[in-house]
A and B are shown apart, each in its own frame.
Chain A
Amino acid sequence: MVAVENVTKLFSNKAGVRDLNFSVQKGEILGLLGPNGAGKTTTMRIITGFMPPTSGTVRVNGFDVLEQPLEVRRRVGYLPENPPLYGEMTVAEYLSFVAELKGCRGARKKDQVDKVIEEVSLGDMRGRLLDHLSRGYRQRVGLAQALVGDPQLLVLDEPTAGLDPRQITEIRNLIKNLAGSRTVILSSHILPEVSMICQQVAIINRGRLVAQDTPENLSKRFAGFSRLEIEVKGPREAVEKELNSLESAQITVIRQGAAPELHRYIIDMDAGRDIREDIFFAMAGRGWPITEMAVQNASLEDVFLELVTEEDNGRETRAQ
């Protein structure tokens, strides 16, 4: 449905995006995740054709954004970071205007407006001036505007930013329900939100794509087995020495356990190596019972922080 290939966007005065490559399948919800200023908005503006990339191509349903912009625009509903509202219009007037801009006339225009008002539950607000709406309702009108004309692709830039918790839940549910057969790209800097709504996550940092996968796979792939917490009954120094002698294990923290002879060890494993069995046999061999062993599965949050801080601090500080 959407194919972003080698997209680079350079700005004279601020960071853009570099060599972005990702794709979204039909019917999928993709979350663009990244800290503020990572290039999410730029990416979305390029996909919608609002700004051209410096190099690279973006295709929506096979249409090139630069070559056939109108064909692309016919298929895309876009909610910018700030909903593009005309304060002097009422909700119904505004949505009719957007419908007309998108080429809906007569009966179809009326149907479309009624349909999107229904979809985002704005029925009571039809006649209200946009200037008099609260932030949450403005966001809904923005969403309704994107939905007008039945676009196959929805591009939503920070759809829940600036809303209160109840409104956030409402908008999230709305997006989930709306998705259906539509393809959705949404951006967010809030992790739980993305893992809750999206089937695919693309993490962007400093204008580069650091990872794209399902939320589950991302957690597994990047941090799955890397940390182990065990509790062993035995003399502390000896156990520590024994553990450190194992290949690819590194003790980071040692804490006193519940009983005097119990100690808890947090061990970092080299990525991709599972040394739980080695630890078991080593401890068993010396007659020190393992009273507890737990794998700390990194959450998506950890992965995100890991990826993002890695980029931020560069290699030198990672070495510590």
Chain B
Amino acid sequence: MGVLVVLKKELKSYLTSPLAYVLTVVYLALGGYIFSVILLTGGVAGMDAYFHNMSVILMFLVPVLTMRLWAEEEQKGTSELLMTVPISTAQVVLGKYFAAVALFGLILLITAVYPSILFRVGSPDTGALAAGYLGFFLVACTYLAAGFFASSLTRSQVIAAVTGFCILLALWVINWAAGAVTGLTGDVLRALSVSEHFKDFTRGVVDTTHIAYYLSAVFIFLYLAVTAIEKRNWS
């Protein structure tokens, strides 16, 4: 119940703040441009290149979306309310996280116009599109969780956004070093990378290993956020 109460409030404050709308416009404008360019120059009725490009653009947009989630509560002092009412920190964190996920889900829903265009102009692989959307959504969920964690570390929204971006960038490029090292280290680096796990989805392959990776990443970041929030008053 506590989760729902927080989710509702958080979603409402997203929808009443200009930030969410600005981000939506930027996302849709960039996405529309990229989608059109790929379709017109490549002439391929698929979205794998679109998803790949957008997951890079998301790295810039998600930290801006998540920066306020906890930092703002600390800054305004409303954390003192949330931390003294009879609901747990985990419930507050989940409520806020799901609000951000719901908002992104709404934006993603608008982009459903792209597949419908593809079906008009060609015959895209339905499976690959569905897998791509699932993978892309999971990537976004991971980004949102990482962004939330960054926000839980500070009371400054700017620092939260910058930290969030750094974490996301690190997760994206961590496998680049995999080529330089051999054996186990390389495998581990590859296994940690957000981009590595995303590749199969864009090819239409839904592998539970990859789903497990994203869900674990979400869990770990949210867990770290709960810990950071609870510990910040300890010393």
B contact residues, range: 20 to 34
* A98 in contact with B235 (CB, 8 Å): no
Given contacts A84-B76, A101-B2, contact A76 B84 (CB under 8 A): yes
Q: Which of A83, A86, A102 has the most CB atoms of chain B within a 10 A radius of its CB?
A: A86
Q: Given A12-B235, A84-B76, are A50 and B84 neighbors across the interface (CB < 8 Å)?
A: yes
Indicate the size class of the contact surface on chain A.
Answer: 20 to 34
Check A52 for interface membership: any CB of B closer than 8 A. Answer: yes
B126 at the interface (CB under 8 A from A): no
* Contact B13 A86, beta carbon cutoff 8 Å: yes
Q: Are B78 and A86 in contact (CB under 8 A)?
A: yes
Question: Closest residue of chain A to B77, judged by CB?
Answer: A82
Given the complex of chains A and B, what is the CA–CA distance between A245 and B173 in angstroms? 90
Q: What separation, in Å, do the CA atoms of A101 and B78 have in the docked complex?
A: 13
Contact, CB under 8 Å: B85 / A51: no
Contact A101/B234 with A88-B16, A88-B17 known, Cβ cut-off 8 Å? no
For window 248-295 of A, CB contacts with B under 8 Å fall at none
Known: A84-B78, A145-B81. A73 touches B86 (CB 8 A): yes
Contact across chains for A70 and B81 when beta carbons are under 8 A apart: no
Determine how close the nearest CB of chain A comes to the CB of B193; give it in whole angstroms: 36
Complex Cα distance, B233 from A48, in Å, reads 13
The 8 Å CB contact of B80, one of A70, A78, A97, A98, is A78
Asked if B9 and A98 sit within 8 Å, CB to CB, the answer is no
- Chain A residues near B78 (CB-CB < 8 A): 84-86
Report whether A101 and B77 are in contact in the complex, using a CB–CB cutoff of 8 Å.
Answer: no
Interface centre among A88, A97, A101, A102 (most CB of B within 10 A): A101
Contact assessment for A103 and B77 in the assembled complex, using a CB-CB cutoff below 8 Å: no
- Residues on B with C-beta less than 8 A from A49 are 83-84
Is B87 an interface residue, CB under 8 A from the partner?
yes
Does B215 count as interface, using CB distance less than 8 angstroms? no
In the complex, what distance in Å separates the CA atom of A10 from the CA atom of B185? 42
A-B contact count (CB 8 A): 67
> Once bound together, how far apart are the Cα atoms of A100 and B95, in whole Å?
13
Name A80's contact: one of B5, B80, B85 (CB within 8 Å).
Answer: B80
With A84-B76, A84-B77 already in contact, the answer to whether A51 and B13 are too (CB < 8 A) is no
Partner pick for B84 among A12, A73, A82, A83, CB 8 A cutoff: A73
Mark each residue of chain B from 70 to 105: 1 if its CB lies under 8 Å from any CB of chain A, else 0. Answer: 000000111111111111100000000000000000
User: Chain B: interface secondary structure?
Assistant: loop
* Interface check A74, CB cutoff 8 A: yes
Contact partners of A76 in chain B: CB under 8 A: 84
The answer for the CA separation of A228 and B234 in the assembled complex, in Å, is 50
- A80-B74 Cα distance, complex, nearest whole Å: 13
Kindly state whether residue A59 has any CB partner on chain B within 8 Å: no
Flag whether B113 is at the interface (Cβ < 8 A). no
Please state if A51 and B16 are interface contacts (CB–CB under 8 Å). no
B22 contacts partner chain A, Cβ-Cβ < 8 Å? no
Say yes or no: is B1 at the interface (Cβ < 8 Å to chain A): yes
CB-nearest residue of chain B relative to A52?
Answer: B234
CA distance A90 to B13 in the complex (A): 12
- Identify the closest chain A residue to B9 (Cβ): A97
Neighbour of A78 across the interface among B17, B84, B87, B235, CB < 8 A? B84
Q: Mark A110-137, 1 if CB is under 8 A from B, else 0.
A: 0000000000000000000000000000
Assembly CA distance A11 to B234 (angstroms)? 8
Known contacts A48-B84, A80-B77, A103-B86; A88 and B13 CB within 8 A of each other:
yes
Q: Flag if A101 contacts B233 (CB, 8 Å).
A: no
Q: What's the least CB distance linking B69 to chain A, in Å?
A: 14
What chain A residues lie within 8 Å of B5 (beta carbons)? 97, 100-101
Query: Which residues does chain A contribute within 8 Å of B81, judged by CB atoms?
Result: 78, 80, 84, 98, 101, 145
User: What chain A residues lie within 8 Å of B16 (beta carbons)?
Assistant: 88
Q: Which residue of A lies closest to B85 (CB)?
A: A101
Interface set, chain B 35-91, CB cutoff 8 A to A: 76-88
Does A101 contact B13, Cβ atoms closer than 8 Å? no
A86 to B12, CA, bound (A): 12
A103→B1 contact, CB < 8 A = yes
Q: Which of B77, B79, B86 contacts A74 (CB 8 A)?
A: B86
Chain B hits for A83, CB < 8 A: 77
* A226-B89 Cα distance, complex, nearest whole Å: 53
1/0 contact trace for B10-42 toward A, CB 8 Å? 000100110000000000000000000000000
Bound together, the chains give a CA A82 to CA B235 distance in angstroms of: 21
**Among residues 48 to 62 in chain A, which have CB atoms less than 8 Å away from a CB atom of chain B?**
48-52
- Whether a CB of chain B sits under 8 angstroms from the CB of A189 is no
CB of A45 within 8 Å of the partner chain: yes
Smallest CB–CB gap between A46 and chain B, Å? 10
Say how far B21's CB is from chain A's closest CB, in angstroms.
14
Residues of A within 8 A of B2 (CB): 101
Interface members, chain B 176-235 (any A CB < 8 Å): 233-235
Given contacts A78-B84, A84-B78, 9 further A-B contacts (CB under 8 A): A78-B80, A80-B80, A82-B77, A84-B76, A84-B79, A86-B13, A86-B78, A101-B85, A102-B85
